[in-house]
Amino acid sequence: MIGVLAVGLAAGIVAGLLGVGGGVLFVPGLAIFLGLNQHHAEATSLLAIVPVAILGTYRQDRYGNVRRADALLLGVLSLAGAAGGVALANALSGVILRYAFAGLMVVVAVQLAHRSLASKHVAHLGVEDTVAEHQEVDQRHEHGCPQIDELRGNAEH
Amino acid sequence: MQVAAEHWRYRRCKLATIGTLAGLFSGLFGVGGGSVIVPLLVLWLGYDERAATATSLAAIVFIAGFAAAVQGLYGNVHLLDAVLIAVPALVGVLIGTWLQQRLQTRLIALLFSALLMASAVELVLK
């Protein structure tokens, strides 16, 4: 009981901090501390992720970090894949799924270590920088390519 | 303008590819799919890390919600257990996002990486 609460707290912190780690800790947490089998742990993890992701999104959106149009498009375009993934998981045996999940954890671990060691990718921008960059990107999208527009303007004169 | 239109078409294709991969991944492993979405947004669409993690979280709401509903049809979802692990996680997210604006996350990423390795071994030996 205390174990699962601790895992939940830890999963939430890394989810908020690194953007990964909700499910990757929920699944083993549910399996180890509540004794769910691999299929049930994965299914229950998916449900638990929803409120966590909603809250994380709300907080990040207030910092101006969420690119809403892209997020919506990503979400909608992922539904077929998600249904396929669930069907595939249920077609596999629990043992195979558990070993595959362990493999996934190793991959995520290596990825994270790589990301944090490659200094360029973790050179964190300040919040203000990120917001300014957003506006710049938004403007670029609204007006097409500023360089071309500028050239056109010059040609007209 | 043609350049801009083409740019958008490529973007949509990339987002569709990332979404499909993330959905498959999420459904198969019971995770959000952030470990697929974040690096691809950074590599393909030039996102910085912070915007990538935030946008990934927003997309995960849809992905995990839908995948959970499908798992529900299989009768695999334990509602009470989900609440039990989600409530402390909600507190954790508040702490995590607050910290993210203030911390160099490198050390934490490395520690978490080590924790994942250990959990993977535990899972295989179980």
Kindly report, residue by residue over A25-50, the tens digit of the pLDDT. Answer: 899 999 989 999 999 999 999 999 99
Burial label for A96, CB within 10 Å (0-12, 13-18, 19+), is: exposed
DSSP state string for B39-93: HHHHHHH---HHHHHHHHHHHHHHHHHHHHHHHHHTT---HHHHHHHHHHHHHHH
Q: Is A46 among the domain residues? A: yes
Question: Residues 64 to 123 of B: which have CB under 8 A from any A CB?
Answer: 64-68, 70-72, 74, 76-79, 81-101, 103-110, 112-114, 116-117, 119-123
The reply to whether B19 touches chain A by the CB within 8 Å rule is yes
Q: Please state, as a whole number, how many other Cβ atoms lie within 10 Å of the Cβ of residue A95.
A: 9
Domain spans of chain B, in order of start = 1-77, 78-126
CB contact under 8 A, A51 and B86: yes
Q: How far apart are CA A6 and CA A77, in angstroms?
A: 34
Report the predicted TM-score, pTM, of the whole model to 2 decimal places: 0.79
> Which residue range forms the structural domain that includes residue A9?
2-93
Residues of chain A in contact with residue B64, where contact means CB-CB under 8 angstroms, are: 23, 46-47, 49-50, 53
Q: Give the list of residues 6+ apart from residue A39 with CB closer than 8 angstroms, or none.
A: A89, A90, A94, A97, B74, B76
Interface TM-score (ipTM) > 0.90: no
The continuous run of DSSP H or E covering A107 comes out as helix A94-117
Domain count, chain A: 1
- Tokens (6 digits) for A11: 């999963």
pLDDT tens for A77-133 read 999 999 999 999 999 999 999 999 999 999 888 988 887 787 544 444 333 344 444
Q: Is A62 among the domain residues? A: yes
